[in-house]
Amino acid sequence: MSNFITYKNAKIHFTDKGKGNVILLLHGFLENISMWHNLCPHLIKTNRVICVDLLGHGKSDSIGYIHTMELMADAVYCVLNHLQIKSVIVIGHSMGGYVSLALLEAHPNLVKGMCLMNSTAVADSSEKQINRDRAITAVKENYKTFVSVSIANLFRPKSRTIHKEAYQIVKREALKISVQSIIASLEGMKIRKDRLQLFRHSKILKLVILGKKDTILNYKTQQSYYKDSDVIVVEFPDGHMSHIENKEDFTYNIMHFIENI
């Protein structure tokens, strides 16, 4: 079922399907809840699945000029509170992972398991922050070009051909997002907190999914963050879009992870 709540005078869109343990799915930058359409049918067989359109994405409104990860997490929490949900397993893709971590920090007793899917618990480096500013300039100059380049970078080059239809759908959905919303998210990601130690030391079950050919997040660097920890790391051979590029293996690992919680 598709629903809306009001958060700070903005509409937040979410879906609520199935029964059982609650799985919260949080999409990434330039995405929306439609990215989960392949995974959801598997999950709702035995779980209750909540998908939320993050601020400025999908059918959710924007709030101001900076969407911090804390603000996004608070909007998500308001959805969960509205539904009277007390415990969730969170799967966050890319920016959705940053929001998941902000949710964990604000409400540690709410989260009982977390998957950072092609995401990181580490804050932007100084170089990455500069690149965010360049991205904001690029959005203002020609947002369509920015979106096209950004979406292309999410996929391994050969995946754009192998998964051509899915690639085009992702790009089409991204072009629906307003310039203001794109910039607000870039500003929010740029200033996000480093939550690596929070994640590493949390007592919840933790899964990290990495792509060996991910151009957004360096595979070996990300891998090194979780050495000598209880974080489960799963590696796929392709890029940043594991749910498309490695769909079967991704689905299997997510289902296995959830079953063990």
3 state DSSP class of 186: helix
Within its chain, how far is the Cα of 19 from the centroid? Answer: 23
| Euclidean distance between CA atoms 27 and 115, whole angstroms | 12
Taking residues 129-133, report their average pLDDT.
Answer: 98
pLDDT of residue 234: 98
φ, ψ dihedrals at 233, nearest 5°: -115, 125
Taking residues 175-204, report their average pLDDT.
Answer: 98
pLDDT of residue 245: 98
| Euclidean distance between CA atoms 11 and 240, whole angstroms | 29
DSSP 20: S
**pLDDT for 13 beyond 90:** yes
Q: The domain 2-259: what is its CATH number?
A: 3.40.50.1820
pLDDT of residue 2: 76
**pLDDT for 1 beyond 90:** no
Question: Contact, 112 vs 89, CB < 8 A?
Answer: yes
pLDDT in tens, 181-193: 999 999 999 999 9
Taking residues 90-99, report their average pLDDT.
Answer: 99
pLDDT of residue 26: 99
pLDDT of residue 186: 98
Task: From 180, 217, 177, select the one nearest 53 (Cα to Cα).
Answer: 177
Question: Contact, 106 vs 77, CB < 8 A?
Answer: yes
Counting beta carbons within 10 angstroms of the beta carbon of residue 137, is it exposed (0 to 12), middle (13 to 18) or buried (19 or more)? exposed
Taking residues 135-152, report their average pLDDT.
Answer: 98
pTM above 0.85, yes or no: yes
